[in-house]
Amino acid sequence: MSLREIIEAVESREKRLTVFDPPSREVVRQLREYFESQTVQIEVGTTDSSLSGYAVLSDSDADGEVLAAVDLGHLGDPTNDQDTSPFAPIIEHLDDTTFTSYDLRQMMAASREVEDRAWRKGEGTLHTGFQRVGAIEQQSDVYADLSGKNLDIHAYSAPSPEVPEIDGVTLHQEDTREIAESWFVVFDGAGDPLDACALLAEERGDTDERLFYGFWTYDPAIVDDILAHLDRRYTITV
């Protein structure tokens, strides 16, 4: 699968959050606001005596398997532990978290999560798609530090006459549309599926706005799909 096809496959796994008998419109507004950047379809369901006052997360396919539920009465409760989100039971089931319209600041923050995990692990393979050589130059200090670990680091960008040299980083200049349009940071977990994670997004719309659509995931199967494509297309030579 191409990088775009992987994004589309994750998108198709959209979740549905059904709000049964909400105590107020404000609660529904809070839910829409909290999940507005993620592909979670929010609906208000018909009253069910067993689920009244609950928000229920399910798969949006025909089976509609129930994955989690939260008691709406706990939203905004000042007695709750403020360090724990009331949506925690739902978030646990959003490992493949899709987003729309992420700007550069949000993309950088998401990238740091994957890079930090690779740094803490200190070994394994890290692939990063920068789109443009200039972005590699801007992040050269970060990747010079990462290269001090026992990491196999691959960086990708569209072709450019001038390419920075970063010790310990293999640079790939690839004249393909997906490399020019995709931002990704993928860590294989150094053989531990629990540490595998990835950010993959595609730049869409007006190039002046620099907005991205994609996902981040801790699902090792999806991480493997991304790595398999990058290896097959760009890094394995025959």
- Is 10 exposed, middle or buried, given 0-12, 13-18 or 19+ CB atoms closer than 10 A? buried
Average pLDDT over residues 117-135: 96
pLDDT tens-digit readout, 158-210: 999 988 889 999 999 999 999 999 999 999 999 999 999 999 999 987 778 88
Same structural domain for residues 48 and 140?
no
Using DSSP, state whether 99 is helix, strand or coil: strand
CATH number of the domain bearing residue 151 = 3.30.870.10
Look at residue 238 and tell me whether its pLDDT is greater than 60. no
Alpha helix positions (H), 59-146: 88-91, 104-121, 133-138, 140-146
pTM score, whole prediction: 0.72
Same structural domain for residues 219 and 159?
yes
Last residue of a domain, one of 54, 73, 94: 94
Total domains in the fold of the chain: 2
Domain range for 21:
3-94
Last residue of a domain, one of 30, 65, 94: 94
CATH number of the domain bearing residue 41 = 3.40.30
Q: Of 157, 149, 221, nearest to 188 (Cα)?
A: 221
Helix or strand run (H / E) with residue 190: none
Last residue of a domain, one of 47, 62, 94: 94
